[in-house]
Structure 1
Amino acid sequence: MPFKSESPSAYIDSYYARTIAPHTARPPLRSDTETDVCVIGGGLAGLSTALGLAERDVKVVLIEARRVGWGASGRNGGFVSAGFSLSPRQIVKDLGREQAREVYDLSRDAVALIRRRIKDLELPGVPVVDGRMKVLRYHDPEQLARDCDFMAEVLAIESEVWPRERLREVLLSERYHGALYIPSGFHFHPLNYALGIAQAAETAGVKIYEDTPAVWLNLESPQKRIETPSGAVLAREIVIACGGYIAGLQPLLSGATLPVATYVMTTEPLGARLKEAIRVPYAISDTRLAGNYFRALSDGRILWGGDITARTREPGQLAKKMIDDLLSVFPQLAGVRAEDAWMGLMGYPIHKMPQLGRHAPGVWHCMGYGGHGMAATTMGGELIAAAIAERDDRYRLFSRYGLQWTGGRVIGAVAAQMTYWYYQWLDRLQEARSHG
C-alpha cells in the first residue's frame, strides 16, 4: 500500500509540481538501521551518488529531510550541458589546458549518462528537448567567434556562431546581438528526472527515507552514526550532499557553502503569441555576468529564470518582477500573466566549482554546484561513488577547489550581494556602450 505523507514537506507550488509524474511518497526512518554508506540529501547530487554506489554493489541508505528533489534539484531551469559555474577560460587558467580538458570531459560524459538513463530507464515525464543557446546582449561578433574556437580547440565542445540577423529570426528581441548554438545541450523536467533517478536507485537496492532530517552526526568512530528524529543510521562511510539547504549540519561544509536564492516563473499558455517572441525550442541563456535564462515549453508557456539574492526569503511581488524582466526583453508580450513563480536555494562555493572529496576518514562531500548542477551533480555522484567503491581518485582533479570559507552567513551574504550588484552594473555598462 503506498505510503501517504502527512508531513508539511509537500513540493512547493511550481510548474514542475503541477506537472509531476505519478509517484509515491516514501516513509520516514522509524528505527535504527545499518548500511555500508549513508547519503545525506535527496537532491540530484545525493541521488546520483546513491545510484552510482548501488550499481557498484554497495549497500546504501539515503535520507532526505523533505522529499526527493524538493530543493534546487526540482526547481531549476532544467538546462543540461557540459560545464560549470566558473567560466571555461578561468578553469583553464586555474588548472592548465590538459587538466581543464579532463574535467570538461567528465562533465560531457555526465551529459551523455543523463541521456542514457532517460532512455534506458524510460523515465516518465522527462522528454528531452535538444539544443542549447547562449545569446549575447551586446555587439561583439569577434567574441562569439573566439568563444566558438576556444570551446572546440580546448574543450572539444561543438558550437556554432549565429549572427544577429539569423538570431533575430527566431528570438524577436532587439536585446540580442548574436548567439552560440550548442547542439549537445538540452532541457527537460528536472523534478521528474529526480523522481526517476530515485526510483532507479531503489530498484538497484538503495533504501530511501523521506521526511528524515539528519539532526546530529557522530563522525569520530569507524562506524558513523547519523541521528534522525525517529531513528539512526549506522554506516561505514557517509556522503553529505545537502547543497544550499545544509544549514548548520556540518560546520566545515556549512562554512564553505553560501545559500543563494534564485527565481523562476512560468507564464500562462501564450498560444500563437509565443511565436511573436520565441520560435525555437532551445534552452536559452544570455552571457551576462548576472543574466537570465528561458525556454519555450511544449504547452506554449515560457519558463523564465534569473536574478540571485543573498536574501533567502521570497520577495514580495515576485511574479511581477519576473514578468517585468521578461518584458524588458520581449516588450511585444505586454499583458502576459505569470501563472507560477517560485524561488530555490543553491549552494554557492566562493570559487564556483563543485566541492568533491573526503574531509575526514569515511566522511565525503558532494555539493556546491552554484547554479550549474544538472550535469555536474551526475558527474560528482559518479566520481564519489567510484572513489568509495573502487578507490578511483579522479575526484582529485577538483582538489584545487576545496572547502574555502565563504566569510560566514552574514559577511558572506553581504559580499555575495555586493558582487552580484557589481556584475549587474558591469552588464549595464557593457550594453550601454554597445548601443551607444
Structure 2
Amino acid sequence: MSQTYVDSYYSRTLADDHRRPALEGEAQADICIIGGGMAGLATALGLAERGITNVVVLEEKQVGFGASGRNGGFVSPGYSRAPAALIDKVGTENAKALYGLTVEAMDIIRRRIEQYEMPCGPLVPGKLNISWFDRPKELKRNIAFMNETFGTELEFWPRAKIRELYLSKRYYDAIYNPNSFHFHSLNFTRGTAAAAEKLGVRIYENSAVKSLDLKGEVKRIATAKGVVKANQVVFCTSGYMGWILPRLRLSILPIGTYVMLTEPLGDRLKTAMRGHHAVADNRFAPDYYRALPDTRILWGGRISAVTQPKNLEALMLGDMLKVYPQLAGTKVEVAWPGTMGYTTHKMPLIGKLEPGVWVNTCFGGHGMCSTTAGGETVAKAIAQGDDTYRLFEPFGLTMAGGPLGPLAAQTVYWYWQLRDLMKR
C-alpha cells in the first residue's frame, strides 16, 4: 500500500505531490542507498554532482517521510554533541575540522537551493538560543570560546533586547547565530530528491528492504518486488531502521519528539513574539519554535523513548502557554510525532563499516545541516577516494542498550528535567 506523509504543517504545504514508483524487478547500480531522508538524498546528490549517477535510492515510504520532513526546519552548524565535548574526544584540530564540515554544508545547502530552484523558502535568517537561567557570564564565556576556537560569529543579546522581541518572563539573555536560518524542511528534502533525479539518480518509494547479502564484490538488496545489485551500499535509515543489519540497529536509539502548529494568530502574535528567528532554549530537552509568515506558530519539544503521549495537542499547547501565557485560548491546528536516531556518543555514524558498505545516519535532532555534511563526506570518499570520513572513526558503532535502551534514555531525560528545575 502506498504510504502518505503524516499530517503536519509540512505535508499540508507541499510544493508538489509527485509520487515515485516502487522497485519492481532487478536494478543494477554502482551505489545503492537505503533510506530516502535527507542523509540518503544528500549522499545521492553529492555522488551525482561528482559524476556518479548510476545510483539507486530505496525508501520504505516516501522521501522525507521520517525526521527529515517533520522537524523544526532549523538549519545551523554543529552536531548534537557539544563542541567542547568534541574537543575532549578528538582534540582541538580534529574538532575544528569536524565542525568545519557543517559550516561548509551551510554554503552547499544555500547553493543547492538556488541552483536547483528548490521551493523551500523563505529562508529566514538567525537562530536564538535563549537562556531559561540568569547566567549571562556563562553565555558570554561560551560565545568567546566558540568565536575564538571555531571562528563563529555568535552574538550576546541581553535580556532587555530578548524581552522586547519575545515577551516571556521565562527568558533571560541569549546567544544569537546570524548564520543560521529556517525554512520548509520537507520541500527542501523533496527538492534534493528532484535535483538528484535530474542528474540521473533513480529513487524508488514504498520499497522497504527485506533482505541483504553484503558478501562479495556485488551486494544484493532485496525488496518485496525487486532486487538491487550494487557494488556499494550506504545505510541512511536513522531512527526508522529495522533489523536488516542488527549490528547497526543496536547502535541506534530511536527517540520520539513532537511538534504542533497553531491557528493563525494575526495581531495576537505580537503580544508574544515580535521576532521571526528560529528559537530554542538551553534546557536539556528544550522548546524550539518559530513564527511563520502567516502568523501561525510552529512549536516543537519534548522527547519520549518509551511511549507516545495520547493527549499530544494539549501537552504541546501547555508547553507554549508556560512560556507565553498571553496566548491562552489559542487553538491547535495539528500536532505530530517524529522519530530521531541517536547514538550514545551524540555524533552521527559516518564512514565505512566494511569494504563496499557505508553508513551516514543518526543525526540526533541536529540533522538539517549535518546530513548534508555527512552526504558530502561519504560521496567524496566513494567518488574521489577522500579520507575525511576518518574524522568520524572515534564515533563508531556503540551499543545503545538493546531492548532496555529506550527505558534508559527515558530515565536520563527525566533526570535532566529535574536538573533543569533545580537550576532555576
The normalised TM-score by structure 2 is 0.99
C-alpha offsets along residues 85-108 of structure 1, whole Å, 9 cap, x if unaligned? 111111111111111111111111
Q: Which residue of 2 is the match for residue 426 of structure 1?
A: 419
Contact 2:276 2:291 in 1 (8 A): yes
Q: Which residue of 2 is the match for residue 4 of structure 1?
A: none
Q: Which residue of 2 is the match for residue 3 of structure 1?
A: none
Tell me, which stretches of 5 or more residues in structure 1 are unaligned?
1-6, 432-436
Tell me, which stretches of 5 or more residues in structure 2 are unaligned?
none
Decide which of 322, 332, 340 is 1:338's aligned counterpart. 332
Is 1:357 aligned to 2:359, yes or no? no
Decide which of 318, 322, 326 is 2:316's aligned counterpart. 322
Q: CA deviation at 1:8?
A: 4.0
C-alpha offsets along residues 25-59 of structure 1, whole Å, 9 cap, x if unaligned? 00101110101000000000000001111111211
Q: CA deviation at 1:23?
A: 3.4
Is 1:32 aligned to 2:23, yes or no? no
Contact 2:120 2:185 in 1 (8 A): no
CA distance in 1, matches of 2:331, 2:389: 45
C-alpha offsets along residues 292-321 of structure 1, whole Å, 9 cap, x if unaligned? 10100111011110111112x532110000
Letter in 2 for 1:364: W
Is 1:64 aligned to 2:56, yes or no? no
CA distance in 2, matches of 1:240, 1:32: 20
Contact 2:255 2:303 in 1 (8 A): yes
Q: Which residue of 1 is the match for residue 368 of structure 2?
A: 374
Contact 1:290 1:427 in 2 (8 A): no
| 3-state SS in 2 of match to 1:344 | strand
Letter in 1 for 2:115: D
Cα RMSD for the two superposed structures: 0.8
| 3-state SS in 2 of match to 1:357 | strand
Q: Which residue of 1 is the match for residue 292 of structure 2?
A: 297
CA distance in 1, matches of 2:213, 2:89: 36
Q: Which residue of 1 is the match for residue 252 of structure 2?
A: 257
CA distance in 2, matches of 1:51, 1:125: 17
Q: Which residue of 1 is the match for residue 124 of structure 2?
A: 129
Is 1:183 aligned to 2:203, yes or no? no
Q: CA deviation at 1:398?
A: 1.1
Q: Which residue of 1 is the match for residue 396 of structure 2?
A: 402
Decide which of 193, 200, 203 is 1:205's aligned counterpart. 200
Segments of 4+ moved more than 3 angstroms: none
Contact 2:37 2:63 in 1 (8 A): yes
Q: CA deviation at 1:327?
A: 0.3
Q: CA deviation at 1:120?
A: 1.6
Is 1:49 aligned to 2:46, yes or no? no
CA distance in 2, matches of 1:356, 1:83: 15
C-alpha offsets along residues 274-293 of structure 1, whole Å, 9 cap, x if unaligned? 01111111000001112110
Letter in 1 for 2:350: L
CA distance in 2, matches of 1:178, 1:200: 41
Contact 2:130 2:281 in 1 (8 A): yes
Q: CA deviation at 1:125?
A: 3.6
Decide which of 83, 99, 104 is 1:104's aligned counterpart. 99
| 3-state SS in 2 of match to 1:365 | strand
Contact 1:135 1:285 in 2 (8 A): yes
C-alpha offsets along residues 186-205 of structure 1, whole Å, 9 cap, x if unaligned? 00000000000000000011
| 3-state SS in 2 of match to 1:104 | helix
CA distance in 2, matches of 1:295, 1:37: 38
| 3-state SS in 1 of match to 2:101 | helix
CA distance in 2, matches of 1:176, 1:398: 36
Q: CA deviation at 1:144?
A: 1.2
| 3-state SS in 2 of match to 1:405 | coil
CA distance in 2, matches of 1:392, 1:227: 29
Q: CA deviation at 1:119?
A: 1.4
Letter in 2 for 1:167: I
The percent identity for this pair of structures is 49
Letter in 2 for 1:188: F
Contact 2:2 2:206 in 1 (8 A): no
Q: Which residue of 2 is the match for residue 434 of structure 1?
A: none
Q: What is the number of residues matched between the two proteins?
A: 423
Decide which of 259, 267, 276 is 1:272's aligned counterpart. 267
CA distance in 2, matches of 1:404, 1:154: 28
Decide which of 117, 133, 140 is 1:145's aligned counterpart. 140
The normalised TM-score by structure 1 is 0.96
Decide which of 187, 191, 211 is 1:216's aligned counterpart. 211
C-alpha offsets along residues 44-76 of structure 1, whole Å, 9 cap, x if unaligned? 000000111111121101110000000000000
Contact 1:20 1:125 in 2 (8 A): no
